[in-house]
Amino acid sequence: YDPTKINGLIRAILNIFKKSSYVGYTATPFANIFIDPERNDTMAGQDLFPRDFIYCLEAPDNYLGPDRIFIDEQDAFLQEIDDAEGVLPRSHRSYFTPNELPNSLHEALQLFLLACAIRVHQGADSTHMSMLVNVSPYAAVQRKVSLLIQEKIDFWRNIIRASAFMPGQDADFWTAMQVLFEQKYACCGVPWHEIRAALPDAVQPVKTLVINNKSPDRLNYSDHTGTGIRVVAVGGYTLSRGLTLENLIISYWNRNSKAYDTLMQMGRWFGYRDDYEALCKIWMPADAQGWYAHIAEASMELRADLVEMSRRGMTPEDFGLKVRNHPETLIITARNKMRAGISMTVRPDLGGKLIETHVVWRDKNRLSSNLQALDRLVKNIRMDRNEEVLGGEKGSRLWRSITHEYVRDFFHEYSSHRSLLRACNENCVNLH
């Protein structure tokens, strides 16, 4: 009843016509499904709840999405930031002055230089090459961080240009670069000595730009068509919401946002990475990696619900959509967008799913009790003379048509670790 400016203007346009259709496209549908379907203001008209349909567009095979990065192939892409709080903390004020960069950011910058050299060696020297640094929402802090980054890049560039072809010179720097290359990019199939030789030309045009509404810097990729631009883009809200970084290779993200949709919008590393996907790396703290993994799972569950809704021929209003809540710190979307949502605890449907525990007790008594419960289950099944089928290299067993009470009794006796119990107890969903 008190719409935001954009929401109100869209509804005003729709009210002009007797017949109209409104179709919205979004990568983060969380806020949309929490709109009150019954809201109809005399002045503003009906709200924008997707009352007729929601259709999921399938991602192509070459799309690098959150499920691949944060669930399926974490080790391939993710690097942990564990050294930033002392020099570049996530929570700071606009007047904060960083005096140095964390070592993890040094490593990310050096890896970007190596990635540029690999791309140049591959013949892609005329394509854009980008790195993202998102560590502060404040323009003044972003400017200070960019100056420290540019100073460090200039320092390394001078070393590279002076000694790339002089074995023995600046040995500590070159040894560190070689170790980093062999740790992260050994899969690229290019020997180190060729990458070292390509570095001078690769790093020469690299520059740092501050991307925010107060900065004079402008990142316009079309101005560099045919030649390419190599850029470390430092920013906050502008990078998170409006600007796509073309050919983004390295991302360094250390922010404190807590809403599902905001976090997903900040993920500029999602997209198409043809020909250089193996070079892509993302630095972020361990807890943030867990945030993104949770959101990816919640998104997959929502997508599954939307597919089921479509299969039943139901509308969003009839079906009732839910999004899994985070048990600790995250919120699904801004609280003013969730006024129509209600919190409910629901029993998850585990039919057709493989659920495995990854946390077990260290306590020997609990472990022994759990093993005894398993032993009783197997003995009871065998006493009923159920058909036992052996298979697999590890001698796995399959029983059919067993008495369900045996399985029920096993779960009554089995003691799950407290972290799993806490997650189950707090695993509420917000449900329309």
pLDDT class of 43 with cuts at 50, 70, 90: low
DSSP 330: -
Please compute the mean of the pLDDT values over residues 194-221 and round it to a whole number.
93
pLDDT digits (tens, 9 = 90+) for 78-119: 999 999 999 999 999 999 999 999 999 999 999 999 999 999
Please compute the mean of the pLDDT values over residues 361-382 and round it to a whole number.
89
Measured in degrees and rounded to the nearest 5, phi and psi for residue 430 equal -90, 125
pLDDT digits (tens, 9 = 90+) for 238-273: 887 767 899 999 999 999 887 877 888 888 899 899
Task: Dig out the tokens for 325 from the structure.
Answer: 């809540």
End-to-end CA distance of the chain: give it in Å, rounded.
Answer: 18
- Taking all residues of the chain, what is their mean pLDDT, rounded to a whole number? 85
Share of the chain above pLDDT 90, in %: 43
What amino acid is encoded at 182 in this protein? E
- Identify the helix (H) or strand (E) that includes residue 200: helix 192-203
Please compute the mean of the pLDDT values over residues 222-241 and round it to a whole number.
90
Angle, helix 404-413 to helix 364-383, in steps of 10 degrees: 170
**Cα–Cα distances in angstroms (integers) from residue 352 to residues 151, 306, 355, 423, in the given order:** 55, 18, 10, 21
Residue 206 pLDDT > 60, yes or no?
A: yes
CA distance 39 to 34: 11
pLDDT at 45: 73
Query: Within 13 Å, how many C-alpha atoms sit on residue 347's CB side?
Result: 3
